[in-house]
A and B are shown apart, each in its own frame.
Chain A
Amino acid sequence: MNRITNWVLSSVLVAGLMGCGGGGEDRGAEGTGDPAPAKVIGYSKMNSNNPFFEVIAENIQAAAKEHNYQVRVVSAEADVAKQMDQIRDFVVSKVDAIVLNPADSEAIGAAIEEANAAGIPVFTCDLECTADGVKIAGHIATDNFQGGRLAGEAMIEALGEGGGEIAILTHDPAASCVKRVAGFDEVINTHNEGRASGTITVVKRLPCDGQRDPGFKATQDIITAHPNLAGLFAINDPGALGALAALEKAGKSDQVKIIGFDGQPDGKQAIKEGKIYADPIQFPDRMGQEIVHMIAQYFAGESFEPVRLIPAELYRQADGQADPSLQ
């Protein structure tokens, strides 16, 4: 009796699992090696709560279809230990290439070394791996330093001759976000040089984890301490939207000009409505497509530039009004 229940319930478990496997399932290789089986790309994305990475995933899948590659997408949820497990799973199932957004620029190195040791090429996109001694076959990202400079220029434009106090919502664990702030700082410092009045002063830098809720809380603290805040730069859209919510709650959304980063749909919508002043926008769709083309070049043994930076572009309210993708 007991054993029967076991089997019945177990089969329910397993059946449920298979059901959730759903479409896009690996069917295994057709035939016995002739013609060559479809190549498999494993993609470990950063997290599931930032639509940016979902756009990358969708475009990787779309581009992979053209090349007849299969794609397996998993999400690290910003946990580098989980990402390491996922890479190990890719390695044992012998995928042909691995794409990832490193959950931590440094700590993911050990996992990439394991893929290197198995001879499986690793491609990074958006975020880079800075660990020593790892082999990265290719990397595609936004030119984050240039994007940060654009954000600085937008801030100067938004504040005008008056200048004022500004704050920055940072996310230092990601090297890409550090570069954005560096570019931003450079432009603001150049602007301030030799200027007696109308300088722009960074009064506070707080981490926002690149997410809405921490951005909201950090901004609440910032405006409590600095009621005269005139501007705020957030290193991505979720951070900027969190800041916007905090400013709206405090009734200060007109006083504080927000510059975001990314150009995600809800970020663009807020720009169109004049709630965020401008974003240097990234092109996650191009990132996803170009990483697959880079992988195809790798498979074909062609030579290619291993690091490709896509310049950011500034997106203001007028761009939002002309944008057919927004309501």
Chain B
Amino acid sequence: MARLAPARYKQLALDYGMIFVLVALGAGFSMATIRVGYPEDGGAARALARQIVADFGSGVPVLLATRDSAEGAGFASAFRERLEAEGGVVVGETQGTPADARRSLEALVDGQTLPQVIAGPQAAGSDVFLPGSLEKIHPALAEVPFVHPPGETWPVFLTQGNLLNVATQIVVIALIAIGMTMVIITAGIDLSVGSLIALSACTAAALIHWAAGEGAPADVGLGVVVGACGAAILLCGGIGLFSGVMLTVFQIPAFIVTLAIMLIARGLAYKATGGQALGSLPDSFSWLGHQDVGGIPLSVLLMVLFYAGAYVLMNYSRLGRYIYAVGGNLEAARLSGVPVNRVLVTVYTICGLLAGLGGIVMASELKSGDPKTGQLYELYVIAAVVVGGTSLAGGQGRILGTLIGAFIIGVVRNGMNLTNVKPFNQYIVFGGIILLAVLLEKMKERFVKA
């Protein structure tokens, strides 16, 4: 079919063919994670309340049990409202652990207000509400049923929570992969990004602790937090700039320069925090990693924003054209007036800045600066770029392909955790998928060109 398509579609397929792999993986993991899930939302709560009044009559005394969570609280208020509107009575309410559920049952028994029904999400109360267990608390409870919204069969992989989870998990890799794509298109490589993540995270945390002085670091103002994060990102950008200068002015191979920087930055990260993870940071520090706008995590929005910017930069700006030109043929680019050295330095600086930003996102998620984080991330980032269709030989690559590559890596990691792939096998599967994805890309290229 693709052969008959106009050249433009052919090119699109060539650039973003990996999306088929992503969809196939998603479909595979969806099939592998089909399970019965028990809803815990307001709609299920209202339906349950109506059902109880229909089955047991109005005026029925109900013990309402939920877990101590936001979902649980939403379930409880929706259920109570609907049940009371239908004429039922909530004689007891418990929100918490199975032990809390047991205590509230015992309190009801002591107060002689036995419920006729126990209602709540399936997970509430756990084993406490099993018939045998209820009988032991009080013989009169033996006949009291625990009713919960019925199970729904649905792939766990495809739940909204999980898809957002995948997106959140790849933010750090995907952000840095933007810079790495540019670096690799210039036929370079940057091995220092994993260490820069740790350096950025630790620098920001250490600066906040330093700024707090004698006071509690958790109480510093927003200005200090923004300043510390900005300084950490700029430091990483400066290190990227340094790498760029070393490899253009002194002609040291990028592999060697960034390998050295990788070690130096890791050491500096350990020094910044004294080897320990620095925690007790202010709440504002964790916003980026924990807040959301309309259900979409801030970090994911940041990632989308950066990809939009990078797409424009790579496709519609002079710098973008220069980056492809430098990678395609360095000498030809130089002869046609491309400021090759400036382009290279810029690209490594961008990569450093983005690694710094990635470090801030990670530190924000962990609410601490940990010098051990980010190990092997350079390889995940490079894998995302290559799986996304960028050639290590330079001159070729698409920024949105990289985003797809990052998603493939995120989906595989998440999917393996959901499907109980054993830790040892995770490595094998992960490596195999990277290999197969690139192999597929190669084969497709041949078919499209043929």
A interface list, Cβ under 8 A from B: 1-3, 5-7, 9-14, 16-18, 20-22, 24-26, 28-29, 32-33, 36-37, 39, 45, 48, 72-75, 78-81, 84-86, 88-94, 96, 103-111, 117-121, 131-132, 137, 172-173, 207, 296, 298-303
Contacts and interface: CB of A to CB of B under 8 A. Distances in A.
Interface string B13-34: 1000100110011011100111
Contacts of B77: none
A11 B365 contact: no
B447 interface: yes
20 contacts: A1-B2, A6-B17, A7-B20, A9-B440, A17-B28, A17-B29, A17-B32, A28-B34, A28-B153, A32-B151, A36-B122, A80-B372, A91-B161, A104-B368, A104-B370, A107-B368, A111-B366, A131-B367, A301-B97, A302-B99
B36 A32 contact: yes
A107 B127 contact: no
B423 A74 contact: yes
B436 A13 contact: yes
Given A37-B36, A119-B67, A301 B126 contact: yes
Contacts, number: 253
A132 B280 contact: yes
Contact of A36 (B130, B275, B421, B436): B130
B217 to A, nearest CB: 12
B125 to A, nearest CB: 8
Contacts of B165: 88-89, 92
B429 interface: yes
Contacts of A16: 429, 432, 436
B103 to A, nearest CB: 8
Contacts of A107: 277, 279, 366-368, 370, 373
A11 B436 CA distance: 11
Given A80-B366, A298-B97, A300-B128, A118 B71 contact: yes
Contact of B69 (A9, A103, A117, A302): A117
- Residue from B127, B172, B414 whose CB has the most chain A CB atoms within 10 Å: B127
B365 A110 contact: yes
Contacts of A301: 97-103, 125-128, 133
A111 B2 CA distance: 46
B444 interface: yes
Contacts of B292: none
A117 B70 contact: yes
Nearest to B414: A89
Contacts of B275: 172-173, 207
- The 10 A-B residue pairs whose C-beta atoms are closest, nearest first, are A119-B67, A14-B28, A10-B24, A301-B102, A119-B69, A75-B423, A301-B98, A28-B35, A29-B36, A89-B417
A6 B437 CA distance: 10
Counting chain B residues whose Cβ lies within 8 A of the other chain, the interface size class is 35 or more
B370 to A, nearest CB: 4
A26 B419 contact: yes
B85 interface: no
Nearest to B413: A85
B98 A298 contact: yes
B36 A85 contact: no
Nearest to B363: A107
A9 B151 contact: no
A1 B447 contact: yes
A2 B3 CA distance: 8
B34 A119 contact: no
A89 B418 contact: yes
Contact of A94 (B37, B68, B286, B437): B37
A299 B423 contact: no
A291 to B, nearest CB: 16
B195 interface: no
A20 B421 contact: yes
A12 B276 contact: no
Contacts of A111: 366
A3 B422 contact: no
B311 interface: no
Contacts of B280: 132
A164 to B, nearest CB: 28
B420 A13 contact: no
Nearest to B170: A85
A82 B3 CA distance: 42
Contact of B366 (A13, A21, A24, A81): A81
Interface in B30-77: 32-38, 66-72
Nearest to A89: B417
A92 to B, nearest CB: 4
Nearest to B14: A2
Contacts of B3: 1-2
B98 A6 contact: no
B151 A33 contact: yes
A54 to B, nearest CB: 9
Given A93-B33, A96-B123, 17 more contacts: A9-B436, A9-B439, A17-B429, A20-B422, A22-B422, A26-B35, A32-B150, A73-B423, A79-B373, A80-B277, A81-B172, A81-B370, A85-B169, A103-B372, A107-B370, A109-B367, A301-B128
Contacts of A120: 67
A10 B21 contact: yes
B72 A119 contact: yes
A123 to B, nearest CB: 12
Contacts of B17: 2, 6
B156 interface: yes
A6 B20 contact: yes
A90 B156 CA distance: 11
A21 to B, nearest CB: 5
Interface centre among B25, B123, B433 (most CB of A within 10 A): B123
A88 B163 CA distance: 11
Interface string B282-295: 00001001100000
Contacts of A78: 372
B435 to A, nearest CB: 10
A13 to B, nearest CB: 5
B38 to A, nearest CB: 7
Nearest to B281: A110
A106 B162 contact: no
A81 B375 CA distance: 10
Nearest to B99: A301
B448 interface: yes
A60 B183 CA distance: 46
Contact of B372 (A26, A28, A109, A173): A173
